[in-house]
Amino acid sequence: MNEIIIILSFILAFFMSIYGTPLAQKVAYRYNILDFPDDALKKQKKPIPYMGGVIVYFAFISPAALLFDFNSELLGISFASSIILIIGLFDDLKALTPKIKFLFQIIATYILLKSGIYINLLFIPPWLNIVLSFIWILSIINAFNIIDIMDGLASSVGVLACLTIFVISLYNNNFLISILSLSLAASLLGFLKFNWEPAKIYLGDAGSMFIGLVIGALTIMGDYCKYNDIAFVSGILILSIPIFDMIYVMILRLLHKKSPFFGTADHFSLRLKQKFNLSFSKTVSIIIIIQLVLSAIVILNFYTNQIITIITTIIVLAFFLLLGIELAKEKMK
């Protein structure tokens, strides 16, 4: 029975996204909810509608609401993601200050913690688990917001991260995580048809922050330590790309004596594109390959021992360190 519900969830989310995205485009054009080109970071040739995140949200939440019995965790994700979506929409309309946006991110994160979604590492005190969970969810919300700088990038990374979480949840027999992760993956897959270069619609802050919140929650809900006590690092490895980009741009901006919250072209994806003179789609394709390798490492760690986890984690850290150093040589505007 669970297998049928999971399949139905994927189908429902995918087709809601495929058929709902064109409607979101029309609404965005009608009410002028558009991302206009500028001379800085926004290089598209014409205004592109936001509102993609709204459709991804509805395509994600509908299967769980229709096919799953509500519990505290599902209610927490539903309420928190709704708050993030609404605040993101206001931000897309330029109606919020960064401080207000951050305040509501904190409120949404608190709701998740209140619903029982938090890290549960037995070797640290319970209060520290709560603090780490708070920092983690806030960080991933903003990491996905930051990485959404290129057509199809945040959506592609989100799809693969969700599918990885889905595979792990299947082996742990965690039905809630399975249905939520697969529903979000299906929603983003349908949306990618319109978000791939040249994008016809963007996620907007509403979509990127919503994706970050849900995936951030799903990673700490999962159990990676069934066969390996230190495989909890897999939650970090799944999201290494957005985490790396967030830390990377903040370091480079500080080195350039800029505010870490001030928009610049220091994103590693933009530097990668410039270094090898790639198109946007080829750049995203390379990052997809990196994400596939990270996903394979996460699944490998789930089944193997601690030595393998230590080795793979060191390799991942070394890779991103060397990548960051090499790309930092590029002179960006």
pLDDT tens sequence across 41-58: 666 678 889 889 999 999
pLDDT tens sequence across 17-41: 999 999 999 998 888 888 777 666 6
Count CB atoms within 10 A of the CB of residue 202. Answer: 26
pLDDT tens sequence across 138-164: 999 999 999 999 999 999 999 999 999
Position 294 scores a pLDDT of 96
pTM: 0.93
Position 162 scores a pLDDT of 97
Tokens linked to 116: 């029982």
What are residue 49's DSSP bridge partners?
Answer: 34
Q: Which of 215, 223, 265 lies closest to 242 in space, CA to CA?
A: 215
CB–CB of 190/146 below 8 Å?
A: no
In 3-state terms, what secondary structure has residue 303?
Answer: helix
DSSP 221-285: HS---SS-TTGGGHHHHHTHHHHHHHHHHHHHHHHTT--TTS--S--HHHHHHHHTT--HHHHHH
